Chains A and B, each alone.
Chain A
Amino acid sequence: MKVTALVQGGRQARSPAADMEEPWQQERRARGAWAAGVAALLAIAIAFPWVFTNPTTTSIGVFTLIYMAAATAWNSFAGYSGYIPLGHAVFFGSGAYTLVIAAQDLHIRGGYTVFALVPLAGAVAVAVAVPFGLVALRTRRHTFVVITIAIFFIFQLMAFNLGITQGSSGIPAPTPTWPAATFNDRFYYVALAILVVAAAFSWGIRRSRFGLQLLAIRDDEDRALSLGVRVSRVKLTAFALSALPVGMVGAVWAYFIGQVYPQFAFDPLFDISVALMAFLGGLGTVSGPLLGALILEPLQQYFTLQFSSNALYLVVYGALFLVVILLLPRGIIPTVRDRVASWRERRSGSTALASGPDAAGGVLSSEMAGGGVAGAAGGGAVSPPGPSGPAVRRG
């Protein structure tokens, strides 16, 4: 406090504070553009099943939305904290089993009532995530990745062997009696609703205090700790919250698929897919995982339908992973954003300097940006030589 007094007395410290007004206004305008863009995308998503009525297409739409939500939720932990978990299939599976078991126990035969179990599935996923996180988050980096995989296999093993999951014979989901032509649409819209919540959540985290704490943990956890960030609590909260949408889409998936088997509910490929989607689009950005899932999931569905086997798709995935790591280590969104920023700068070289000190207001305004590139994207500053793709290496 004393420093404040001193600094203010000592010189005209006013100017930077006064300059903040303008970036705030700029930000408001940018926010309007964003809102319009998001509304347009949402409208397209809502209209999609009306335009493309073919059940095969809408079915691909359902899977894509499920994975978009899952990748977004996964990223809202992994992308911001820098921890790469490969055990979110546990939450997906827990959600799936919750729905079918609860529907069986409550004698729900089908219809819309089944969707009422989706929030319950999310809650169960969170309840599973808390002890999971308590154990796994004691470790860091590679050890953390390995621990999450190990815990995943424990859960898959339990699903095979416990009585409540009825082993490898699986559990049937309720069968709704909706007309075949619009059968998929119900699932589509429920998945879309979950996706919207997950995306809004991811976006909200990115600009919140909580999100800043997570990003600080990603860069230097011990330093964050010493600055008063309660790292264990922040990590665990983020981890548990990221399980919520995953559990919910797991439940929708179970209802949609019609039968839950251990090897598909607890599928090791789930995390590989979700992680690849996030990496491809841009780890730690809000839109990256959405874009990644939008590209990869239809591709997977296409391969599965076309060649009715997962094997080819696996080869494609492996190749894609290599391509992403080698050519786009930071993912599509951050790469494109940097290109655009430097292009804009070249176009309006001197004006960029004039709006230089937009610092204070602008920094966090670019919440759509992934952590470190925020500054570069927001201000007109020279694009930094910043660390390229460290998040990739951390995994």
Chain B
Amino acid sequence: MSSAPLLLVDSACKAFGGVQALSECSVGVEEGTIAGLIGPNGSGKTTLFNVATGYERVDRGEIYFSGRRITRASPDRVFALGLGRTFQLTRIFSRLSVMENMLVASQAGRRGLRSLCTRAGSPGERRRALELLEFVGIARLASKPAGSLSYGQRKLLELAYVLVADPAVILLDEPAGGVNPSLINHIADRIRELNRQGKTFFVVEHNMEFVMSLCHQVTVMHQGTAILTGPPSTVRSDPRVLDAYLGGALEEDPGDGPEGQDGAGSL
């Protein structure tokens, strides 16, 4: 393992009005690992992903990706640098077909005007897209409108199209949320397989079994701060974790439940 983490969030602070979503939060993700991020609802996990991928700006603090400062980079720039992500409430292009969704992801970095004269999706891109769809197990849905996919299938599609651009690090926000158990195992297998090929993962998940069996390192967040990082075995038995969960649940109402209303939102 390298000395400096591949992705490093350094003392990030972020407030929404009166809510301090992140306060002096520092987390590092080592290259080649599967890192986990857990914490009660509203503890700032999604916000941490948002600031790391350019969707939100930190008020204070810095973010580094492979030694480069990306604190104020825009989402497309962050993605181009090799930091891909999925969303807690899956975000797919619901009126495009599954294949077209994949092709959008392979557009990265194409010039605007020349793209007017090029046909969407070269045979090579289509083949690769199909391979990735096979990889996550939804190739037979390629011609379906993405809007007709089930919740779990959407999660898989999102994972597949993040893979198109071959990012070095992938942030997954609740990949198992609302997904049936067999599909959860399927997702976990895919993540392990990709990790074996060298991809780094940073996974937010409420499913403890999933996190503990999958991750090499787990970070616990509580009220916007990373209170503890360690291997699953130590984290599991740390009293502070239980405190965080119980305390957090009593103190604050969760902002957005993992189940959300994805159906309505994606319309």
- Asked if B184 is at the interface of the complex by the 8 Å CB criterion, the answer is no
What are 19 A-B contacts defined by CB distance under 8 Å? A7-B134, A7-B135, A20-B127, A208-B119, A212-B96, A219-B95, A223-B92, A227-B104, A227-B105, A227-B107, A230-B112, A359-B139, A360-B130, A364-B100, A364-B103, A364-B121, A378-B143, A385-B148, A387-B147
A204 partner residues in chain B, CB cutoff 8 A:
116-117
- Interface stretch (choices A31-39, A299-307, A342-350, A366-374): A366-374
Q: Are A8 and B131 in contact (CB under 8 A)?
A: yes
Shortest distance from the beta carbon of B261 to any chain A beta carbon, whole Å: 14
B131 in complex: contacting residue of A3, A361, A373, CB < 8 Å:
A3
- Asked if B61 is at the interface of the complex by the 8 Å CB criterion, the answer is no
Q: Are B117 and A208 in contact (CB under 8 A)?
A: yes
Chain B 83-123, CB within 8 Å of chain A: the 1/0 string? 00101000111111111100111011110110111111101
Known contacts A228-B79, A374-B100: A209-B120 contact under CB 8 Å: yes
- Asked if B165 is at the interface of the complex by the 8 Å CB criterion, the answer is yes
**With A and B bound together, what is the CA distance between A231 and B74 in angstroms?**
12
- Interface stretch (choices B36-44, B190-198, B230-238, B252-260): B190-198
- Asked if A294 is at the interface of the complex by the 8 Å CB criterion, the answer is no
Q: Is the interface of A mostly helix, strand, loop or mixed?
A: helix
B110 in complex: contacting residue of A2, A4, A209, CB < 8 Å:
A209
Q: Are A228 and B117 in contact (CB under 8 A)?
A: no
Interface residues on A, range: 35 or more
Q: Are A228 and B80 in contact (CB under 8 A)?
A: yes
Known contacts A364-B121, A386-B95: A375-B143 contact under CB 8 Å: yes
B107 in complex: contacting residue of A213, A220, A237, A372, CB < 8 Å:
A213
B99 partner residues in chain A, CB cutoff 8 A:
359-360, 363-364
Q: Are B119 and A215 in contact (CB under 8 A)?
A: no
Q: Are B91 and A375 in contact (CB under 8 A)?
A: no
Known contacts A208-B118, A212-B120, A227-B108: A237-B95 contact under CB 8 Å: no
**With A and B bound together, what is the CA distance between A357 and B142 in angstroms?**
8
- Asked if B166 is at the interface of the complex by the 8 Å CB criterion, the answer is yes
Known contacts A213-B107, A372-B95: A384-B145 contact under CB 8 Å: yes
- Most-contacted residue by chain B among A11, A227, A360 (CB, 10 A): A227
**With A and B bound together, what is the CA distance between A389 and B97 in angstroms?**
17
A218 partner residues in chain B, CB cutoff 8 A:
95
Shortest distance from the beta carbon of B180 to any chain A beta carbon, whole Å: 21
Chain A 203-244, CB within 8 Å of chain B: the 1/0 string? 011011111110110111011111111110110010000000
**With A and B bound together, what is the CA distance between A205 and B120 in angstroms?**
10
**With A and B bound together, what is the CA distance between A295 and B99 in angstroms?**
35
- Asked if A376 is at the interface of the complex by the 8 Å CB criterion, the answer is yes
A20 partner residues in chain B, CB cutoff 8 A:
123, 126-127
Of chain B, the residue at the smallest CB distance from A234 is B112
Known contacts A3-B163, A16-B130, A230-B112: A223-B91 contact under CB 8 Å: yes
A372 partner residues in chain B, CB cutoff 8 A:
94-97, 145, 147
Q: Are A215 and B79 in contact (CB under 8 A)?
A: no
- Asked if A326 is at the interface of the complex by the 8 Å CB criterion, the answer is no
Q: Are A209 and B115 in contact (CB under 8 A)?
A: yes
Q: Are B194 and A3 in contact (CB under 8 A)?
A: yes
- Asked if A362 is at the interface of the complex by the 8 Å CB criterion, the answer is yes
- Asked if A358 is at the interface of the complex by the 8 Å CB criterion, the answer is yes
Shortest distance from the beta carbon of A56 to any chain B beta carbon, whole Å: 40
- Asked if B75 is at the interface of the complex by the 8 Å CB criterion, the answer is yes
- Asked if A120 is at the interface of the complex by the 8 Å CB criterion, the answer is no
- Asked if A390 is at the interface of the complex by the 8 Å CB criterion, the answer is yes
Of chain B, the residue at the smallest CB distance from A385 is B148
- Asked if A13 is at the interface of the complex by the 8 Å CB criterion, the answer is yes
**With A and B bound together, what is the CA distance between A376 and B79 in angstroms?**
31
**With A and B bound together, what is the CA distance between A226 and B170 in angstroms?**
13
